[in-house]
Structure 1
Amino acid sequence: MSERAAEPLRDVIARHGLQAAKSLGQNFILDRQLLARIAAIPGDLTGAPVYEVGPGPGGLTRALLDAGANVVAVERDRRCLPALAELESEYSGKLRVIEGDALEIDGQSEVAEGAHIVANLPYNVGTALLLRWLGDESWPPWWRSLTLMFQREVAERIVAAPNSEHYGRLSVAAQWRSEARIVMNVHRSAFVPPPKVTSAVVHIAPIAAPKGLSGKVMEQVTAAAFGQRRKMLRQSLKGLPGALEALDRLGIDPQRRAETLGVADYVALARELS
């Protein structure tokens, strides 16, 4: 842990001439107490490996380091690298910064097995990264938990129940072999610049996967079902070989719509097709 008092993040941003770039989906959090609360969500991080995406000026990064974590941070915005280099020097041996696009980097190869992923995700890549992490064929996955900041609407989609407005492909992906919950809401005023919407922090932990089906098949089933969610299953699934016959074997009415099936129904359907 650093013995130096943390410089106010507003000053760090000003000193390095940083402005959040809309094109990169950036919104910086300035409140160090809030960042410490986020870093505490995964539990005791003393000596634990942590993978962070989009650290920006390093506010959450410092909070994770102060919590005792060993952090690998991926940042594609070169303007932020000098501020992160200062943290690397201050927390010698505890932080490694990788310049690059997280969508093009294999996080599993960069961080120790059982890492916690903690990130204020750039809004424009958050869902794509989440689906990648949830879609691992091997299970349990290489990550131990996900603690991620999303727009509140996306967070609600992740934890949604069947027959609700937000229930969809993302809900099933997050719930069929993991537990997802919204831990806290974060008001737009906590960010610079303030986004137009409220944000929320979601915590996801893997659980035992149902036997007899693959993540790839589950992804195909949910993509087909929710790709045309206003249509009945007999229409949305007709392009998936064997799907209509599987519905019949399971006793699922093909006139139902995708949002009426529970996670267990999708598990059963994917198992039939596996």
Structure 2
Amino acid sequence: MSSIDDLPPLREVIATHGLAAKKSLGQNFLLDLNLTAKIARLAGDLTAADVLEIGPGPGGLTRGLLAEGARKVRAIEKDPRCMPALAEIADAYPGRLQAIQGDALDVDPLAYLQPPIKVAANLPYNVGTELLVRWLTPPMWPPFWQSLTLMFQREVAQRIVATPGSKAYGRLALLAQWRTDAQIVMELPPEAFSPPPKVNSAVVHLTALPAPRFAADAAVLNRVVAAAFNQRRKMLRSALKSVSPDIEQHLMEAGIKPTERAEQVGLEAFCALARSLEQDS
């Protein structure tokens, strides 16, 4: 299947509009519409949802989302060169696509979306992790989104789903697994993209939990986890000394040996430590 709609193939769209990928924007375009449609399906039933897409580029995933029945798609694109191509997609799907030129780090998506909302994106490599952390750490929970279906470098994807004891385990795993069910649902080789990146890529699907997996104050937990993994080679009694002068007592109250290192401690124990520290404040 060379196309999922009556629009031109993506290589033709890129040639027509002069959309050579820019390294400065972290662009790597996925050109196979079979793959973009598959990623759209991994986001679940879209027929009753608004979808937020970041970095649509020439619109491969955008077309997949619309073809799979998304109620509406709000696509935020930083590169002004892509806007004419996205306008052509909007014309082919009347009333269902709104493309907004701007920086996803600055645009408030809620001004353009109605719940239920899902996020699906082949994220630009240079902002992907920062956007994910923002989506995982809102002031209120549940968040504005039901699920995130996101393309990352495979190394980043592995950090999101990592378990204690692994080298990939760290702050990103804890933030994601505290409030979501996260799993890698697809892997892609470099040659699937234009230009091919130097690393493999993977799609991660995160479903928001109604409430965090374990009780903890978000700000305290984030501070503890950041401090612990900032000096991950140190024992926790040393790495967390700046968090509290009585850190050894708090560690023992949480059932954590003060001599353990951050990568050995699971999510539940970190949440227990955050609760202990909160009581002391």
Using the size of structure 1 for normalisation, the TM-score is 0.95
| Alignment gaps of 5+ in structure 2 | none
2-side partners of 1:22 and 1:112: how far apart?
33
Paired residue secondary structure (1:124): coil
Give 1:37 shift: 0.3
The 1:212–1:159 alpha-carbon spacing in structure 2 relative to 1, beyond 3 Å, is closer
The code of the aligned residue for 2:18 comes to G
1-side partners of 2:58 and 2:49: how far apart?
22
Equivalent in 191, 202, 205 of residue 203 of structure 1: 205
CA RMSD of aligned residues (A): 1.6
Paired residue secondary structure (1:176): helix
The code of the aligned residue for 2:271 comes to V
Aligned to 1:9: 10
The code of the aligned residue for 1:44 comes to D
The code of the aligned residue for 1:52 comes to E
Give 1:230 shift: 1.0
Give 1:105 shift: 1.7
Aligned to 1:182: 184
* Identity among equivalent pairs (%): 56
The 1:195–1:137 alpha-carbon spacing in structure 2 relative to 1, beyond 3 Å, is same
1:144-174 deviation line (CA, Å, top 9, x unaligned): 0000000001000000010011101101011
1:27-60 deviation line (CA, Å, top 9, x unaligned): 0000000000000012111131000000000110
Mean CA deviation greater in 12-21 or 110-119: 110-119
The code of the aligned residue for 1:8 comes to P
The 1:190–1:172 alpha-carbon spacing in structure 2 relative to 1, beyond 3 Å, is same
Equivalent in 228, 232, 237 of residue 229 of structure 1: 232
Give 1:212 shift: 4.2
Paired residue secondary structure (1:149): strand
| Alignment gaps of 5+ in structure 1 | none
Paired residue secondary structure (1:51): strand
Aligned to 2:83: 81
Mean CA deviation greater in 203-212 or 75-84: 203-212
Aligned to 2:265: 261
Aligned to 1:218: 221
Give structure 1 regions of 4+ aligned residues with deviation exceeding 6 angstroms: none
Paired residue secondary structure (1:202): strand
1-side partners of 2:134 and 2:249: how far apart?
29
Does structure 2 retain, via aligned residues, the 8 Å contact 1:123–1:150? yes
1:252-274 deviation line (CA, Å, top 9, x unaligned): 11111000001111111122233
The 1:22–1:186 alpha-carbon spacing in structure 2 relative to 1, beyond 3 Å, is same
1:68-104 deviation line (CA, Å, top 9, x unaligned): 1110010011111111111112211101111111111
Equivalent in 90, 101, 111 of residue 99 of structure 1: 101
- Number of aligned positions between the proteins: 273
The 1:109–1:216 alpha-carbon spacing in structure 2 relative to 1, beyond 3 Å, is farther
Mean CA deviation greater in 140-149 or 242-251: 242-251
1-side partners of 2:219 and 2:100: how far apart?
29
Paired residue secondary structure (1:57): coil
Q: How does 1:23-34 map to 2 (within 5 A)?
A: 23-34=24-35
Give 1:139 shift: 1.4
